[in-house]
Structure 1
């Protein structure tokens, strides 16, 4: 890790980005050194506890689902899991999932609000075990104070989904009221809902397909295509056999016609010879009659 500029010291136990006023006065090289010095990985601690599948899988599925959806529709939305987020002079935090609209979609080590020029648009936390105070109380206050427009909490164990949104001119979150069991995200332009203990995203009435569902669909499409290819090849083979049989029949017919033509030619030749012999005989007979007369 590179050292930050002497004008800003990064505490490894509480890493923070510089205040905006200090950032604005830094040179591009100084800013880059700050970004290089901000840690993106941490020792296992209360800030980054180990997790099991019940906590990891929902956020990983959400990242893949949203990332794939926005890529397919050509919308630039950056989606990341557990990425360290640095607001100016504020404590680092790393939500289970963040989404930022209209930015370059690329790999990052950290999200620095000063460097990127904008803050997080949506945060999502997955709650599985432990105290819910951090996600349902502390984060509600903190994320609202940072100006994050929307915040969702998926309590997988209790199968509950909560959403919060900043109203215009309000520094406190207002709960998002469910509509037919779903929460609308103005940021994503999608609805969030639950199917059993799974978090799903919906566009209209249709759920966004998850990766395994897309792979299953692709596998089914490939299977159907292979079946159609096999059926087509079978029809082509049958057509080839039919054409080969037709070709053999035509060849036999051609040989039969050639044989009949040969026999006809032979008969014609014989008839010509017989006619010639008859003409010769008649001529001889006429000659003999002339000699006797």
Structure 2
């Protein structure tokens, strides 16, 4: 059932859309909150068709690498994957990966542009199977029109990477048609102004670089930390072995010292006995002389 709301906005469950910016401006805070609650968080299958493990892993690895890097750098960038996005009056979509600068970093079920106060800054789509034209052509036009600053398309099937950016003069002027310009790679690297990182293909993987340092995904970080832990354990075991050897050596030296003290005591007692016997012999000789 279509549910009417004030300000001329209608919610259609079959095609849920956020209000236009004019409708949003005429709404009360309570009406806005009601609209946001009504917009579904779940995304239908046609917006996120299953493309197998290659698609899932590419998205997961990219999100893990970026999330870990920006948390360590304490940089305020909101990242998400397959989040329902609602631009004013537009059909919803769910990017494989999205990034938004300088917003609150908390968990979300959806992104409603007017409610958040800004749109997306970057989108990355990964294509493995299905409709390539949607990512390669349709999204290039759509994301530019919506004012999304950067768009990267990782064609996992063909092992190609494409980057697009809005010219600066178009970003702040909604009256001008927004059209992406291609990002020209340098030595295979595509520079992202939004992320402050470079993107490139490393075999069949999408990699991010901060300068010359590659960002690690979760599996790589676990493997590296696991290797470091193994090294620490090995050094601990070696240190324990050395400590045991040292303790054994100290025990041997202690026993030798004890034996040396016993021999010295024995020698001292023998010497005292000899001196006593000599003294007694001398005394006996003197006594005999007197006779």
Moved more, 226-235 or 78-87: 226-235
Offset, 1:26? 3.9
- Equivalent in the alignment of 1:291: none
Q: Which runs of 4+ in 1 moved over 6 A?
A: none
Tell me if 1:178 matches 2:185: yes
| C-alpha spacing 1:5/1:155, structure 2 compared with 1 (3 Å) | same
- Equivalent in the alignment of 1:128: 128
| C-alpha spacing 1:25/1:273, structure 2 compared with 1 (3 Å) | farther
Tell me if 1:34 matches 2:41: no
Tell me if 1:12 matches 2:13: yes
Instruction: State the secondary structure of the residue aligned to 1:111.
Output: strand
Offset, 1:121? 0.6
* Stretches of structure 2 lacking an aligned partner (at least 5 in a row): 171-177
Note if contact 1:4-1:37 (Cα within 8 Å) is conserved in structure 2. Answer: no
Q: Distance in 2 between matches of 1:104 and 1:280?
A: 113
Offset, 1:5? 5.8
Tell me if 1:209 matches 2:210: no
Moved more, 34-43 or 166-175: 34-43
Note if contact 2:58-2:206 (Cα within 8 Å) is conserved in structure 1. Answer: yes
Question: TM-score by structure 1 length?
Answer: 0.88
CA RMSD of aligned residues (A): 2.1
Note if contact 1:17-1:88 (Cα within 8 Å) is conserved in structure 2. Answer: yes
Bigger Rg over Cα: 1
Q: Distance in 2 between matches of 1:178 and 1:239?
A: 60
Deviations 1:216-244 (A, max 9, x none): 11121112112211221121111111111
Tell me if 1:99 matches 2:99: yes
Asked which structure has the greater RCO (Cα within 8 Å, sep 6+), the reply is 2
Q: Distance in 2 between matches of 1:175 and 1:199?
A: 18
Quick one: which of 248, 257, 272 aligns to 2:255? Answer: 248
Instruction: State the secondary structure of the residue aligned to 2:169.
Output: coil
Q: Distance in 1 between matches of 2:66 and 2:47?
A: 25
Offset, 1:160? 0.9
* Stretches of structure 1 lacking an aligned partner (at least 5 in a row): 289-293
1:79-228 mapped onto 2 (5 Å cutoff): 79-170=79-170, 171-228=178-235
Note if contact 1:5-1:33 (Cα within 8 Å) is conserved in structure 2. Answer: no
Deviations 1:107-149 (A, max 9, x none): 2100121222221110011111223221122111111111110
Report the count of equivalent residues. Answer: 281
Note if contact 1:4-1:30 (Cα within 8 Å) is conserved in structure 2. Answer: no
Question: TM-score by structure 2 length?
Answer: 0.89
Q: Distance in 1 between matches of 2:49 and 2:161?
A: 22
Q: Distance in 1 between matches of 2:168 and 2:271?
A: 104
